[in-house]
Amino acid sequence: MQFKFHIQRYDPSSDWAPRFERYLVELDPLATVLDGLHKIQEQQDGSLCFRRSCRSAICGSCAMYINGTHRLACKTIIKSLRTKNIKVGPLPRLTIIKDLAVDMGPFFEKVERIMPYLVANSSPPKGERPQSIEERRAINEMIDCIMCGACYSACPIVGLDKDYLGPAALTKAYRFVGDSRDEGAGERLSLVNNQHGVWRCHTIFNCQKVCPKSINPTWSIQQLKKRLTRRPSWVIFGRKG
């Protein structure tokens, strides 16, 4: 079956502005959008630039803006789009490197700020840090984050505040704050307790709507707020008195 791919093309080194180019592609309706992009690159236009890695919806590399919403190209079955016209663009609110590839540097820098690793300073008994099934279940959803950047791109606050940590970084922060083995909750809560952290979230739920792993970053952000509001007021607002 023939499908029309409308792909946004833009090379900052030579183009004045982004433009859309059309490609006619023969594909099985059960193929993915990523399959279509590969066929275009291999058979029609080798200059087309996009990212992909695992092709199993677990690496997050192929997050794109497909037919008006954020999706993983490798997970999006063409038949599910219910149209023969497929419009593909890069993640909004991120700087375009070329075509569908965007600069993820700021996204990952913000994740690094919240200390995305286990902090454990004390010596565990018998050399292990046991965790019950219930304790692990409390952070299962957050651990499933594949760092695709879809939630970050969909968040309108990201477009307004370049210093806002964003839903992915804040979800990652709660992933460790809620981890029974972690001993760095106090420091992490201090890192997100500011006008560019949890208090900048407007609870719009765009992040939850676009997550390809069905994670709800807004819930994690609210849990961080709850932890902070249990602290003394001078700790919350960064002053005494």
13-64 confidence digits (pLDDT tens): 999 999 999 999 999 999 999 999 999 999 999 999 999 999 999 999 999 9
d(CA 37, CA 111): 29
Q: What is the pLDDT of residue 121?
A: 84
> Could you give the C-alpha distances from 197 to 69, 150, 162, 203, 233, in angstroms and in order?
25, 18, 12, 13, 17
pLDDT digits (tens, 9 = 90+) for 190-231: 999 999 999 999 999 999 999 999 999 999 999 999 999 986
Please name each of the domains of the chain with its CATH number. 2-102 (3.10.20.30), 105-236 (1.10.1060.10)
Distance CA 65, CA 73 (A): 9
**185 near 141, Cβ under 8 Å?**
no
Q: Which two tokens stand for residue 61?
A: 């590399």
Confidence (pLDDT) at 240: 39
**Do 189 and 176 form a contact (C-beta atoms < 8 A)?**
no
Q: State residue 129's pLDDT score.
A: 87
**Residue 113's pLDDT band (cuts 50, 70, 90):** very high
pLDDT in the model for residue 125: 76
Tokens of 104: 């993820």
**What would the DSSP string read from start to end of 145-164?**
-----HHHHH-HHHHH-TT-
Q: For residue 236, what pLDDT is reported? A: 47
Report the Cα 161 to chain-centroid distance in Å. 17
Reported confidence tier of residue 239, pLDDT bands at 50, 70, 90: very low
Q: Note the pLDDT of residue 232.
A: 61
- Judged by DSSP in three states, 20 sits in strand
Distances (CA, A) of 13 to 30, 88, 96, 228: 36, 21, 11, 46
What is the dihedral angle through the alpha carbons of 206, 212, 213, 219, rounded to the nearest 10 degrees?
0
